[in-house]
Amino acid sequence: MLILWLGIMLAVPVWLHWRGTGAAGLSLGVAAIYGLIAAGVWLVTILPPDAAQMVLRTVTLSDQDVDGSYHDTYYVVANGMVLFTPALLFGGIGFILWVLTRWDALRHQRIAKTLFWVLHLSVLGLPLVDTIFVRRGMRRRFIDYEEAMALPIAIQNTLAGVAAATFLTIVALMLWSAIARLRR
């Protein structure tokens, strides 16, 4: 399942890139994929409780209650956050880039594409590191992590920092483009 998700999340933007799609199209394409996957996860979670329990048993190896049932809220929130947040992030960036492109204001399309790829790969890497936490038994508190988790935590912090810095750079590029267009 993880390989299929990675393939879709990488193949579609690469295909759009090869077609010559701009940064706005790349961002909106990735936002649509995240949105569709998030909608699928949401539909699975609104299934009747017995069917949802069956799906959760096949998908995850997490803690169960004494009676064998899972805490649905925890998994719904965890999956929704990972999927809906990037959908909104890339959708907003894509819409603003599209407006700037239509307004003939976007400066440096190549830089915008490069920033898109850095942001996309760093955001895509965050759930991959999370699978390490889930496989090792996800702890509720940071102090409960064992020492072997130091490297995945450092990787996750680095990816999050790269994503935040890239996002701020994209926002700066968009503001710079809009101000430069207004001055013309």
Q: Is the pLDDT of residue 69 over 70?
A: no
**What's the confidence (pLDDT) of residue 170?**
95
**What's the confidence (pLDDT) of residue 107?**
82
d(CA 52, CA 121): 31
Locate 11 and state its tokens: 């193949």
**What average pLDDT does the segment 120-134 reach?**
81
Cα Rg of the chain, angstroms: 19
For 46-149, where are the alpha helices, taking DSSP H only?
49-59, 72-102, 109-135
Residues 6+ away with beta carbon under 8 Å from 91: 27, 28, 31, 35
For residue 135, CA distances in Å to 69, 88, 111, 131 come to 19, 28, 37, 6
DSSP summary character for residue 46: T
Residue that the structure tokens 């010559």 belong to: 20
**What average pLDDT does the segment 82-89 reach?**
85
Q: Give pLDDT tens digits for 87-121.
A: 999 999 999 999 999 988 888 899 999 999 999 99
Locate 24 and state its tokens: 């706005």
